[in-house]
């Protein structure tokens, strides 16, 4: 256990906090696009998602909403269109994370 902690410390201390943030931002930007739809009720978030899907470059989409009901509706939308989606809770927000690789039938 102590060896693992030491290796983690040595590896993680070789780059600065700014460099770590840049790496994290690069990974996030390459792998997922975000939509912040907090405070919107249905169909608002769904309309925003459909508009974003016209130009999305990523295979993953994260939609941040304020209510579980909205999050569940978005998951249903994604699943109805052959995408895989799940809900993650972060504080008061609900994050719908969708793998849109196989998404089809959206107009």
CATH number of the domain that residue 78 is part of? 3.30.110.40
Is the confidence at residue 78, as pLDDT, over 80? yes
The structure's pTM equals 0.71
* Residues 20-73: tens digit of each pLDDT: 555 455 445 557 899 999 999 999 999 999 999 999 888 999 999 999 999 999
Cα 31 from Cα 33, distance rounded (Å): 7
Tell me, yes or no, whether 87 lies in a domain.
Answer: yes
Tell me, yes or no, whether 48 lies in a domain.
Answer: yes
Domain count, the chain: 1
Strands 93-99 and 84-90, sheet pairing = antiparallel
Tell me, yes or no, whether 69 lies in a domain.
Answer: yes
Cα 31 from Cα 47, distance rounded (Å): 22
Q: What is the pLDDT of residue 15?
A: 52
For the record, the structure tokens of 80 come out as: 């109805």
């Amino acid at each position: 256990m102590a060896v693992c902690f030491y290796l983690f410390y040595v590896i993680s201390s070789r780059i600065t906090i700014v460099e770590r943030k840049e790496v994290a931002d690069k990974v996030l930007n390459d792998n997922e696009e975000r939509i912040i739809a907090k405070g919107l009720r249905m169909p608002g978030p769904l309309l925003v998602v459909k508009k974003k899907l016209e130009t999305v470059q990523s295979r993953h989409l994260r939609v941040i909403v304020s209510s579980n009901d909205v999050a569940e509706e978005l998951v249903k939308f994604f699943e109805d269109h052959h995408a895989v989606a799940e809900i993650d809770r972060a504080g008061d927000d609900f994050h719908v994370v969708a793998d849109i690789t196989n998404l089809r039938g959206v107009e």
